[in-house]
Structure 1
Amino acid sequence: MQKEVKMSKKIIEKPFRPVYPTPAGLITSVDVDGKPNIITLGEVAMVSLNPTRVSVGMRPATYSNRLVKTTGEFVVNFPTTDIIDKVDYCGTVSGRTSDKFTETGLTPEPALHVKPPLIKECPVNLECKVIGVLSLGSHDLFIGDVLVMHAEEDIIIEESRGIIDPAKSKAVIFAMNSYWSFGEKIDVIRFTRK
């Protein structure tokens, strides 16, 4: 017999970040002259598996928002816990007045299909072309067609589909205004159907 669990729940009328956790992403973009910028975002999500599409949410006032709207391109770079200081810096300083690649020591690498660079220190990079922008209130939602994914060989579980081992990737997770790392694996999807 299953034990009854009683919990008391509160009603929160205006929740702050009710969807958690989310991956932290370093989003690269370029200005019309090709100067790159980096912004840290906790609003990164898969929105379609076929075709492969992702979304990133950015406040309209950010420099990166203007760059992505102007060029229609961005790269999602997934950082590791090893560069958490650089992740935090890129989310707290504006690219209008700083060169974040120079200031952080992160290494830009050319992308194959878009102008924004990849970040070498990030084990996974997604080259994206903007296919839609929704103004939703505090944030604009950019929908990006993933043109190609770059992934370090040692973190790939299944190459044909680009399946990544989250533990080996040392991914950074964002929740409740804090950075986190992955914990232990519980089980695989569909484990109840074995």
Structure 2
Amino acid sequence: MHKIVQPAILYFGTPVILISTINQDGSYNLAPISSAFWLGWRCMIGISAFSKTTENIIRTRECVLNLPSEEQVASVNYLARTTGSNPVPEGKRLKGYRYEPDKFDVAGVTATTATKVKAPLVQECPVQLEAKLIAIHKLAADDVLQNGRILTMELKIVCVHTAPSILMDGCTNRIDPDKWRPLIMSFQKFYGLSNQIHYSTLAEIPENLYTTPDIEEAKMV
């Protein structure tokens, strides 16, 4: 029989993202998150209202969502408990965070130029999604103690970069899930993916039937 439990967090497993943004002085910030989902070329992220990344996205209205694979796990972990905010916000200070002005150096990764946004790409990540901010929503509107502390941001993807090694053989616009090995965070620990475990009926649907107008717009901008 199942038990009723009350875990402090409900991170059952989501992909890790390294979000790159531009600080007010023109330097770069890099931060890991793992609260995100995609529909078409739109992405929703959940993020603290008090982070440097949030501040930068609101000011510049852009960012890059860099998706690390299992191979970049050490770089992601180097960024744990670091922040670009100085002074360190109280909530993060209590969790042992420290201020780091050069996150790219800390992670040992390389910043490269994006195509449609000013925020940098992380060269080592197999997937880099340039994005524009569309809307911001406050989470927990029903709770005065939590309302406004966590935000959800709707981001529109305007350019997708992928390593050739993860493309489907013979295709120029399809990611091969047998080659792509995203880094997964589950209850604050890092995991990878195993091989496909079962045939998927949904995979019978041609991928191009999911195309949205955002893709055509991205070609024109």
CA RMSD of aligned residues (A): 2.1
CA drift of 1:117 comes to 0.5
Instruction: Note if 1:115 corresponds to 2:118.
Output: yes
Q: 1:151 aligns with which of 126, 147, 162?
A: 162
- Structure 2 unmatched ranges of 5 or more: 86-98, 141-148, 205-221
The share of aligned pairs that are identical, in percent, is 26
Could you say which residue in structure 2 is the equivalent of 1:131?
134
CA distance in 2, matches of 1:103, 1:192: 40
* TM-score, normalised relative to structure 1: 0.84
Q: 1:79 aligns with which of 58, 61, 68?
A: 68
CA drift of 1:170 comes to 2.7
Could you say which residue in structure 1 is the equivalent of 2:107?
104
CA distance in 2, matches of 1:16, 1:88: 22
* TM-score, normalised relative to structure 2: 0.75
Could you say which residue in structure 1 is the equivalent of 2:25?
33
CA distance in 1, matches of 2:160, 2:180: 14
CA drift of 1:77 comes to 0.5
Could you say which residue in structure 2 is the equivalent of 1:18?
10
Matched position secondary structure for 1:165: coil
Deviations 1:80-136 (A, max 9, x none): 222212102223211233201122220001111111101000000100000011110
> Counterpart of 2:81 in structure 1: which amino acid?
T
Matched position secondary structure for 1:164: coil
- Structure 1 unmatched ranges of 5 or more: 1-7
Could you say which residue in structure 2 is the equivalent of 1:90?
79
Count of matched residue pairs: 181
Going by fraction, where is strand more abundant, 1 or 2?
1
